[in-house]
Amino acid sequence: MGLNTLADPVAAPVKQTLASSYLDFSTGWAQQYLPELYEAEVERYGNRSLSGFLAKVGAEEAMQSDQVVWSEQGRLHISIPDVTMDVSENMLIFDNTDEAGLIRKHDTLLLHITADGAVAGNVGKQMRVLVTAVGVDSTAGGSNDGLGITVAPYDQAALDTNGAAVVCADSTVATVMVYGSEYAKGSTADRHALTPSFKTFTNKPIIMRDMYQINGSDTAQIGWVEVSGEEGQNGYMWYLKAEGDTRARFNDYLEMSMIEARKAADSSGAAGVTGIGGTEGLLQAIDNRGHISTDTFAGTAAEDLAYFDDILVKLDGQGAIEENMLYLDRDASLQFDDMLAGISVGSAGGTAYGLFDNSADMALNLGFIGVRRGSYDFYKSDWKYLNNLSAHGAFAAGAGNEKLEGVLCPAGTSSVYDETMGRNVKRPFLHVRYRASQTDNRRLKTWITGSVGGNITSDLDAMTVNYLTERCLVVQAANNFMKLQR
């Protein structure tokens, strides 16, 4: 039974393998039967979506203005670094009037020496002093416009007393901490009031758009394919499968932009484009107001633990929030597991990951999902965005570049003063604000234009699916966030 190439094929009334019923699809194609067609689309890259990070740690709220404004508390106590000394007048000299104004007469101060080029061995020593005068001009080196305060040490006659425990020179630099005050009997409170400090931050939303288009002719040629896409388009679909991919990609951009976006600097090229100003994303907020760790989990277990303890020290100096999330790339996640395994006790070499009954049906778990160290709980999670080869997974660490290996985020909520609502509110440290009103919600707008698909808005012989959003990210208390990079 061969191909009928001498005459036109004849259709059979029923499905029969007759010689007259075969089609010659191309010259020399000697296959007897049509090729097998796999109806199911192969998921070559698994779930291709990269979003989900903000859904775990944040929330979304509507906004109506062109910018969002919020206030954050300042520190409650007073500590000022890099204060210099004029020892001939027993005086501390501050850099500006804001710093000098925080110190008042009768305050008691702790001076911690951080630099002293004249007297060896002074760095790290401490001295306690009483403030006897404020707003004084130093005569050494010219006028300081009232940026000086006069002090009286408690343990020695003057700042430069010979033979004393701390002998200061004019080059001495100290960190000044206010720890209280002292008054004589029957005295008056000759001091000014301090206004609690706070900082105000703003961010503005950006408009993002995308579209999918197919012409009318292609919509008529239906090719059914069984699909399972990221946006729930499961089952048999035809040309709208591509629309589902476009929507999935746009949804990923919603999160990726909130992570990577930058505010346009005044002298930047983007600032010169009309209507473009950028927005502050997560990474820029951490760069500006958070912490950056350039070390890595890449040594022995003891070395990595010491590096991890350095992170705890930074958190102690900030909000000391007990629960934190670590979102790491593959290398950092495995190194974190190895660190915990290396310090685990109960087995030679530190390989005991935990207690188990050695069951034949058990799969050994060599990973950790969390750890408690000091007063902090850390929960570790792999961040697909850092591993995927179409995202940060394509970037390699090297001299002169930044390879993001993870982000530390505080869990829970923060209490801030909302300028729009006029009251304190509790919100997640990370949350997205999108433009919306009673008549238009711009969280994720979708509409169809053209003359195909039952929706006729123009004479264009095509169906165009439009996507639009207007949003920004609010990163509150960014001083509790940290970037981990190689």
Q: Please identify which residue in the block is written with the tokens 């520190």.
A: 75
Does residue 318 or residue 177 have the better pLDDT? 177
Q: In angstroms, how far is CA 79 from the centroid of its own chain?
A: 28
Q: What percent of the chain is modeled with pLDDT above 70? A: 77
The tally of CA atoms less than 13 A away on the side-chain side of residue 305 is 14
pLDDT band at 321 (very low <50, low <70, confident <90, very high): confident
Residue 383 contacts residue 327 (beta carbons within 8 Å): yes
Longest Cα–Cα distance of the chain, Å, equals 124
Residue 353 contacts residue 337 (beta carbons within 8 Å): no
Q: Which of the residue ranges 107-111, 158-162, 216-220, 250-254 would you say has the lowest mean pLDDT?
A: 216-220
Q: Which of the residue ranges 69-73, 136-140, 432-436 would you say has the lowest mean pLDDT?
A: 136-140
Residue 109 contacts residue 131 (beta carbons within 8 Å): yes
Query: Token pair of 388, please?
Result: 């995927």
CA distance 423 to 403: 40
Does residue 340 or residue 78 have the better pLDDT? 78
Bridge partners for 408 per DSSP: 326, 482
User: What's the whole-number mean pLDDT along residues 429-436?
Assistant: 91
Does residue 225 or residue 110 have the better pLDDT? 110
Average pLDDT, the chain: 80
Does residue 352 or residue 163 have the better pLDDT? 163
Distances (CA, A) of 254 to 206, 282, 380, 443: 10, 13, 24, 10
pLDDT at 1: 40
Record the pTM: 0.77
pLDDT at 5: 46
Q: Is 70 exceeded by the pLDDT of residue 467?
A: yes
The torsion defined by the Cα of 261, 272, 471 and 244, in degrees rounded to 10, comes to -80
338-350 tens-digit pLDDT: 888 777 654 444 4
174-219 tens-digit pLDDT: 999 999 999 999 888 888 888 877 788 899 999 999 998 888 887 7
pLDDT at 158: 92
Q: Is 70 exceeded by the pLDDT of residue 352?
A: no
- The CATH number fitting domain 79-183, selected from 2.60.40, 1.25.40, 1.10.443, 2.40.30: 2.40.30
pLDDT at 394: 86
pLDDT at 235: 61
Q: Is 90 exceeded by the pLDDT of residue 109?
A: yes
pLDDT at 299: 77
Q: Is 70 exceeded by the pLDDT of residue 453?
A: yes
pLDDT at 351: 46
Highest averaged pLDDT of the listed ranges 68-72, 241-245, 324-328: 324-328
Q: Is 80 exceeded by the pLDDT of residue 88?
A: yes
pLDDT band at 80 (very low <50, low <70, confident <90, very high): very high
277-309 tens-digit pLDDT: 999 999 999 999 999 988 778 778 888 888 888
pLDDT at 3: 44
Q: Is 60 exceeded by the pLDDT of residue 22?
A: no
Listed by start position, the domains of the chain span: 1-36, 48-74+196-486, 79-183
Does residue 21 or residue 179 have the better pLDDT? 179
pLDDT at 24: 55
